[in-house]
Structure 1
Amino acid sequence: MEHTIQSNITNYKNQLKSYIETQNEQALYKAEKLSKSFIKNNILPEEIVNIHIQALEELYPNLSEDIRNSMGFLLETMIAYGLAHQEMQHLKEEQYALRSEIQVAANMQNTFLATEKPNIKGLDIGAVTVPMHQMNGDYYYFVKGNDGTLGIAIADVIGKGVPAALCMSMIKYSMDSFSEESMNPKMILSNLNRVVERNVDPNMFITMWYAQYLPQEGKLQFASAGHEPGFYYNSHKGTFVEMEAKGLVLGVLPTTSYEQYELELAPNDMVVLLTDGVTECRCGDRFIETEEVLEVIKKYAHLPAQQHVERVYKHFYNMQDFELKDDFTLIILKKSV
């Protein structure tokens, strides 16, 4: 080890002397090769400075005290720099590993929580969900019954990241386990409430809006567990009406019951379901008003449902300077003629 250090000092001293005497490009090229050798041998910055000091002292034994002191100052600075640099590299490696793990978790979430839009006669369905970060705290799910009915769930975990994704996975698989006889909205929410209350951290709550569409009757039954209200668009009047539904968020009390509501859809009527990432979009420093959201939704109402939700999303994404402030989920149901 001592031989290696002395060899480094001797080599560095010779290169330094050559550059001081000639100051030509060839000497600089040799210095570049020397620096690559230091990197290869894991020579730290402060060690290089120390080698420089020793080389100077050998080349110039009568070096002034001021120069010696300045080099000592540089050495201490580089020691501190080296420690900080090592810590930063360690944090970068940890951050990279965490980012990789989150990406794997996000891919798993996309797989586990995937849902397909079913074909329901007389109903055009559009759905879009985009996470603010890699993991999505929003969730939507479609359940087609054997009798032709359609269950629609939209939910939002109060919390983000991996825990939120795990909650959503539990919600999905719980719904899959319920019998078809218990698929009406108030029963779905009551059953899920018990699951969440027993299995989820008390500091984490889930809001949910669940509906069941009865195609033969053209009716939509729905209930809410503290979720953003949906909106009903009456095509005859050309107006939106808030679909207010009261209910406690999932997981607060084990015996919570939920009230069920019903709405009859006429041809060209529309139902809008969303999360607060839509209603709380920002334009500059202000939150946009609900009326503004509905105006944008109405603007693209002539489009097929899937194109409709995608254009609305792009509108608000662009409006927020291409940076979401929250997870964004929007579902639009259109009754066909």
Structure 2
Amino acid sequence: MPTAVREPAGHLLLDDRLSLERGLLPAPVLGRDGFRAAAHYEPGRAQALLSGDFYDVVQSEDSTVHAIIGDVSGHGPAEAALAVHLRLAWRTAVLCGRTQLQQMGMLERILVQERTSDETFATVVSLRFPPGGHSVTAVNAGHPGIILRRSREVRWVEPQTGIALGFFPGHEDWVETRIELSPRDGVVLLTDGVFEGRTGRATRLGEEGLLRLAARRSHLPAQEFIDALVGDAAAMAAPFGGLSDDVAVLQLGWNVPG
């Protein structure tokens, strides 16, 4: 009789870990009333599907869309696990009707309880899109700004920024910033991994460089736009070690006739 061929134990463990991580990746919860979301997510760790970067999108019963993107400091499995804790806690808070400021306070308390080092922190920005597509409300805890796409124009928007989660627990200086939108505007959230790659021996792409890349790709639809944006940033960084950090980019917006 033929002898069964056993896979090496290391391969089985890797397959199990990747299956587990795949199940913990975000699955945006949206209705059918015209909201669009596109995401690009790349862990910096080899042979990993999850990283310390996280995002999620949830639409509540009143059709309001809630979104979050965040970045836990560090690059190991402990940071990836903490990112999952924060994402799931945020989704629970949204579904329980907590305000954006209450969500931030809860996420900071969870981060402080679950982190393995007092030096671990997280930058986070949350968005709330009311139905109609005329505005978005942002709460920013130490995170990079937002790219606003309007027709074929792009610009950098900086919501008022509070302190990152975990820096000074309990300080809670976050505020809400309302950003006016036009029909079919796209709001692009990102983590700093996409613009922190080196483009020279002593230079990095930076936010201004990223915005220039975005302007070149402004004619593209959402998914193609964010994929091209990451691809262009990676190509510029490739001669100098590539994008070594985790990357997450998210484009959101109402598909409102205009």
Fold agreement, TM-score > 0.5: yes
Match of 2:120, as an amino acid? M
Q: Give the structure 1 partner of residue 66 of structure 2.
A: 151
Is contact 2:30-2:57 (8 Å) kept?
yes
Q: Give the structure 2 partner of residue 296 of structure 1.
A: 213
Alignment of 1:209 onto 2:128: no
Is contact 2:148-2:186 (8 Å) kept?
yes
Match of 2:40, as an amino acid? V
**Which aligned pairs between 1:1-337 and structure 2 lie closer than 5 A?**
104-116=16-28, 118-119=30-31, 121-133=33-45, 134=48, 135-178=50-93, 180=95, 182-201=97-116, 202-216=118-132, 218-235=134-151, 238=153, 240-257=155-172, 258-285=174-201, 286-321=203-238, 323-336=242-255, 337=258
Q: 2: CA distance between counterparts of 1:102 and 1:248?
A: 37
TM-score, scaled to structure 1: 0.64
Is contact 1:209-1:223 (8 Å) kept?
yes
Deviations 1:157-202 (A, max 9, x none): 1011110111012112212332545343222111111121222231
Cα distance, 1:249 vs. partner?
1.4
Q: Give the structure 2 partner of residue 22 of structure 1.
A: none
Q: Which has the larger radius of gyration?
A: 1
3-state SS in 2 of match to 1:182: coil
Mean Cα displacement is larger for which, 158-167 or 128-137? 128-137
Q: 1: CA distance between counterparts of 2:156 and 2:55?
A: 22
Q: Name the Cα RMSD after superposition.
A: 2.7
CA, structure 1 residues 279+160, in 2 after alignment: closer, same or farther (shift >3 Å)? same
Between Structure 1 and Structure 2, which shows a larger proportion of helix residues?
A: 1
Match of 1:267, as an amino acid? P
Is contact 1:208-1:249 (8 Å) kept?
yes
Is contact 1:126-1:333 (8 Å) kept?
yes
Q: 2: CA distance between counterparts of 1:117 and 1:288?
A: 33
CA, structure 1 residues 173+335, in 2 after alignment: closer, same or farther (shift >3 Å)? closer
Q: Give me the identity figure in percent.
A: 23
Stretches of structure 2 that go unaligned for 5 or more consecutive residues are 1-7
Is contact 2:55-2:87 (8 Å) kept?
no
Stretches of structure 1 that go unaligned for 5 or more consecutive residues are 1-92
- State the number of aligned residues: 241
| Higher RCO (CA 8 Å, separation ≥ 6 residues) | 2
Match of 1:139, as an amino acid? F
Mean Cα displacement is larger for which, 289-298 or 181-190? 181-190
Is contact 1:113-1:172 (8 Å) kept?
no
Cα distance, 1:287 vs. partner?
0.4
Match of 1:331, as an amino acid? L
Between Structure 1 and Structure 2, which shows a larger proportion of strand residues?
A: 2
CA, structure 1 residues 241+314, in 2 after alignment: closer, same or farther (shift >3 Å)? closer
CA, structure 1 residues 138+126, in 2 after alignment: closer, same or farther (shift >3 Å)? same
Q: 1: CA distance between counterparts of 2:213 and 2:144?
A: 18
Q: Give the structure 2 partner of residue 48 of structure 1.
A: none
TM-score, scaled to structure 2: 0.81
Cα distance, 1:261 vs. partner?
0.9
Mean Cα displacement is larger for which, 158-167 or 200-209? 200-209
